[in-house]
Amino acid sequence: MIEPRFKRRQLSLATLALFAVAACGGEAAGTADAADSAAPSAASQAGAGTVVAATAASGAAEQAMTESDRLFLDMADGACNAVDFSSFFKAFTGSWAVRAKYTAAAVSHGMTGKSRSLPRRDYLALDDFPISPMDYDYVTAASAAAFEGKPDASWRDLSYVQLEFNTANDNRRRVDWLPGIFQKHQTPPPPELEEGLGELVRATGGGGTLLFFPTETCWELVEDVRNPAPQR
C-alpha cells in the first residue's frame, strides 16, 4: 500500500480558493443538540493587511499575512454571510488571522474544572489553538507543526482528531475534538473503507471542547477547554 504524501501543512491555495467560493454561496445548516453555556461577549473586530497584528487590543505577535491567510479570511467572511459554520470552522482552524478576528473579548481556557477567563490578547498570545485542518480532515496542531518540519513525513506522522459538532437553539456552536487511532491506521484497513479516516478505534488523548457564541454577523470563540488524557 502506497502511503499518500503531503507537501505542506496548509491546504493548497487552489483548494482554499474553492472552499472560499463554496462558503460564499453556502446555505445555512445545523442540528438542535444542546451546547454548554458560557458567558457571551462582543464580537472581535480586527483588520487585515500585508503584515497584521491581531489588532492592538489582541496583543498577539505580528505575523506575516500570507496568501493562504487571505483566502482563509475570505472563506470565513463568506461562511459568516452564508451562516455556514462548517466552512467558518475550517477557516478558523486554518489561520491565525481568522482567529484574531473572530475570538471573543474573553476566552475561558485551561483544563476541565480548572479553566480561567483570559483577555483576548492573552489567549491569542499563547498561540495554543489545539487543532489544524489537513486536507479534508483535522489533526492536532502540535502534530501539524512537527509534520511541517519533517522532510520525509507521511500522513502516519499526524495525530488525526474526531470532531463532534452540536448546535443550540440560540445558534451557539460546540465542537468536541478527540485525537485517536482510526480505521485508516489499521494494517490492512477495512476493505469497505475507501476514503476518509473511518471509525475511531482508540483515543490517544483527552481532546477538549471549543465553544462559539453567535454575534450579529458571525460567531466568536468563547471557550477552549482541554480534557485530561485517558487513564491506561
pLDDT tens digit sequence for 20-38: 555 655 443 443 343 443 3
Q: What is the pLDDT of residue 184?
A: 85
- Residue-wise pLDDT for 68-118, tens only, equals 999 999 999 999 999 999 999 999 999 999 999 999 999 999 999 999 999
> Which residue shows C-alpha cell 497584521?
52
Considering its fold, how many domains does the chain have in total? 1
Is 78 inside any structural domain?
Answer: yes
Is 176 inside any structural domain?
Answer: yes
- The x, y and z cell numbers of residue 120, run together, are 483576548
User: Measuring CA to CA, which residue among 189, 186, 57 is closest to residue 123?
Assistant: 57
- Residue-wise pLDDT for 118-140, tens only, equals 999 999 999 999 999 998 899 99
What is the C-alpha separation between 130 and 8, in angstroms, rounded?
18
> Which residue shows C-alpha cell 496583543?
59
Is 29 inside any structural domain?
Answer: no
Is 38 inside any structural domain?
Answer: no
Domain that holds residue 176: 13-21+52-226
How does 16-42 read in b/e, with b if 16+ C-beta sit within 10 Å?
bbebbebbbebeeebeeeebeebeebe
Compute φ and ψ for 182, nearest 5 degrees.
-115, 170
Is 37 inside any structural domain?
Answer: no
pLDDT above 90 covers a percentage of the chain that reads 54
- The x, y and z cell numbers of residue 183, run together, are 480505521
Is 207 inside any structural domain?
Answer: yes
User: pLDDT higher for 86 or 8?
Assistant: 86
Mean pLDDT of 54-58: 41
